[in-house]
Copies of this chain bind each other. A is one copy, B any other.
Amino acid sequence: MNKSAATSADVADLAGVSQSAVSRAFSPGASISAKTREKVLKAADALGYRPNALARAMISGRSRLVAVLVAYLDNQFYPLALEQLSRALQARGYQTLIFMTETGNQDVVVQKMLQYQVEGIIMLSAELSSSLASECAATGTPVLLFNRYVPGLPASSVTSDNLEGGRQVAHHLADSGHTRIAFIAGQENSSTSRDREAGFCKGLAERGMTPVARAVGGYTFDGAARAARELFAKPDRPDSVFVANDHMAFAVMDVLRNELRLRIPQDVSVVGYDDVPEASWGGYDLTSVSQNLGEMIQATIDILMSQIDRQHVKRKAAIIPARLVARGSARMPGGST
């Protein structure tokens, strides 16, 4: 669509060399003399030549494109992941093709990805059906689930240690004298919610306790608000709650403070998960579990690149350590607050 962008043939003409020579001048490591390269570069500069990445992709069979499939970006964890993912990919010479999905059109979207010959697919806050996973596998395109895990699928995954994170939350709350501890789940079918809950229950069991109540927030702001009302608008309310992610925890805190007039943490302690930037803002000061985004990104890139380079063909699952960050929204062990 360029008005008439210069091609390698144009450059070759001006430089008085073959078209192959021009190509070599732009391929690091190609066998070309310094003299020839210089001539080419000068001519290219004069013409404003830019190699056509699409043509290169076609002939070399390597698009240098990675697709990121995103369902939503309103939970701040995902934009930050996308930003860092994209930067890391760029640094490795790959470009990021972003696809937004909504329940229903996933199939169409994955077809588009494959049509663009992407070399890998990263699923961010998005589901992956098993049929799509095997379709990608059939084309040899590696798929990686970020912050999600699905046992049976031919897809790699990177998650934080949700089991251990949930366990730490349980200990934090139990050791601070809470006796009526509740849980608010995210999406019931997501591995993060299930694992965080499982670890949480395990941790409580280690203190001889069990959750006194449970509700489902579905990882949405409104869903979490409803769950909070369900759990706290009755006489024998919990004295603390672990919410499966920060995004929901903010909604829960809003309901507790502004609708139910409960004080945090004096009346109710709240703990979230993700440690998104807002968690440390003064308006919430939310105790949370930090996912170590940097390491998750690093693991993602490492796994994907090795799969693209065919060093690992098998799927791989990385689990990154998580750690609790204690703030003011939950009473502390040993403390009087």
1/0 contact trace for A219-261 toward B, CB 8 Å? 0010000000000000000000000000000110111011000
Chain A residues 1 to 24 lying within 8 A of chain B, measured CB to CB, are: 1-3, 5
**What is the 8 Å Cβ interface bit string for chain A, positions 100-141, against chain B (1 contact, 0 not)?**
100000000101101111010000000000000001001111
Question: Count the A residues whose beta carbon is within 8 Å of the partner chain — how many?
Answer: 63
* Contact partners of A100 in chain B: CB under 8 A: 83, 86-87, 90
Which residues of chain B come closer than 8 Å to A53, judged between CB atoms? 112, 115-117
Contact with B along A61-93 (1 / 0, CB 8 A): 111000000101110101110110011001000
User: Which residue of chain B has the shortest Cβ distance to A67 in the bound complex?
Assistant: B95
Structural contact, A140 and B283, CB atoms closer than 8 A: no
Stretch of A143-151, A159-167, A274-282 on the interface side: A274-282
Alpha-carbon gap, A135 to B5, bound state (A): 12
Which chain B residue lies CB-closest to A72? B83
CA distance A74 to B135 in the complex (A): 35
| Residues in B neighbouring A55, C-beta threshold 8 A | 58
Q: How far is the CA of A50 from the CA of B96 in the complex (A)?
A: 21
State which of B58, B111, B140 has its C-beta within 8 Å of the C-beta of A50.
B111
Q: In the complex the two chains form, is B73's CB within 8 Å of A79's CB? A: yes
- Bound state CA distance, A96 and B101, in angstroms? 13
Proximity bits, A253-272, B CB within 8 Å = 1, else 0? 11101100000000000000
Contact between A254 and B277 (Cβ–Cβ < 8 Å)?
no
Q: Which residue of B lies closest to A57 (CB)?
A: B54
Contact with B along A41-57 (1 / 0, CB 8 A): 00000001011111101
